[in-house]
Amino acid sequence: MLRGLYTSAAGMIAQQRRHDTVTNNISNLNTPGFKQGNAVNRSFPEMLIALTNGQANHPGSLNIGLLNTGVFAEEDLSVYVQGDLQQTRQPFDLALRSHINVPGQAFDGAGKGIDEQGNIVYQPQAFFTIAGADDSARYTRNGNFTVSTAGQLVTEDGYSVVGVNGQPITLFDDVDNVAFPDAIITETGVLLDPRTGQAIRDADGNAKQLLLTRIDQPNRLIREGTGLFRLNEDEADLAQPVAAEDDVTLYQGYLERSNVDPAQALVDMMTALRAYEANQKMVQYYDRSLEKAVNEVGRIG
């Protein structure tokens, strides 16, 4: 009886986490570049039940069968499919349209495919590169950038946007000592003088350009909050600069909208709620059964 109680309690915890994931998606419907999360549930490892030396004609153990003891929320997977682009006409609102193809590999609408070995693979995605609080690389699709008092291009939380030279992007020509608060940013991320169309240069005389990073297995990204993702140190090789042949385009004056489907999110939330209630009723049933076993079955009258 206690086994059923534990199984129902595990189901309640799993559905609560699923509900939390869905409500987080709904709360970020209007967050630029937000990527929907999907809670993945997994059953506990099955146990083999056996009858040990229970019958005279079976001197050894007799296998009865497998028993599942519950479920748990294993992980929260992000879906990195492209969100719609919304025009804002703000000069430092930037959006990425990423559709990177892998030769010989097909992907479904969720950006997932099966390779020749039967392994699940995910479509590579492009991200803006950000310098995190510890100066290590972070990645985002939220291009709602602003300009700091120091002339740096930064996120809403003040993190610097990184250029191809690994340094923060500044709206300043370091060779001619001229500021460009109205710089034009091309489809490849190059900063241009709006009056001459010439590239804005860094101290070495090279054109300033945003570092757009290609993540080959985006499912390995770890969500940090505030729209930022990171990779573990031992998986840093999954991040490479976007190449010229990659189908990635930057749009100035646009933002990528959240890819959350609000209708499906509401359905998922109600499903998690109903499953939670069903498990809750089972816990109450076991509680009443235990109460009766203690107070009535064991009574000597």
For residue range 264-278, list pLDDT tens digits in order. Answer: 999 999 999 999 999
Please indicate, yes or no, whether residues 39 and 150 belong to a single structural domain of this protein: no
- pLDDT below 50 — which residues of the chain? none
Count of all residues that appear for the chain in the document: 301
Please indicate, yes or no, whether residues 248 and 118 belong to a single structural domain of this protein: yes
Is 96:127 a contact under the CB 8 Å cutoff?
Answer: yes
Q: Output the pLDDT for position 134.
A: 85
Q: Output the pLDDT for position 4.
A: 76
Please indicate, yes or no, whether residues 59 and 17 belong to a single structural domain of this protein: yes
What's the number of domains the chain is made of?
A: 2
Q: Output the pLDDT for position 84.
A: 95
Q: What tokens were used for 273?
A: 């709620």
Please indicate, yes or no, whether residues 125 and 238 belong to a single structural domain of this protein: yes
Please indicate, yes or no, whether residues 244 and 278 belong to a single structural domain of this protein: no
Please indicate, yes or no, whether residues 107 and 68 belong to a single structural domain of this protein: no
Three-point CA angle 17, 22, 28, nearest 5° = 130
Alpha carbon 232 to its chain's center: 14
Question: What are the Cα distances from residue 217, in Å, to 74, 111, 175, 221, 265?
Answer: 19, 11, 38, 8, 25
Three-point CA angle 27, 29, 35, nearest 5° = 100
Please indicate, yes or no, whether residues 144 and 180 belong to a single structural domain of this protein: yes
Q: Output the pLDDT for position 77.
A: 84
Please indicate, yes or no, whether residues 281 and 160 belong to a single structural domain of this protein: no
Please indicate, yes or no, whether residues 115 and 46 belong to a single structural domain of this protein: no
Q: Counting runs of H as helices and runs of E as strands, what totals does the chain give?
A: 2, 22
User: Which residues is 248 bridged to in the sheet?
Assistant: 98
Please indicate, yes or no, whether residues 251 and 284 belong to a single structural domain of this protein: no
Question: What domain range is 8 assigned to?
Answer: 2-77+261-297
Please indicate, yes or no, whether residues 103 and 251 belong to a single structural domain of this protein: yes
Please indicate, yes or no, whether residues 9 and 121 belong to a single structural domain of this protein: no
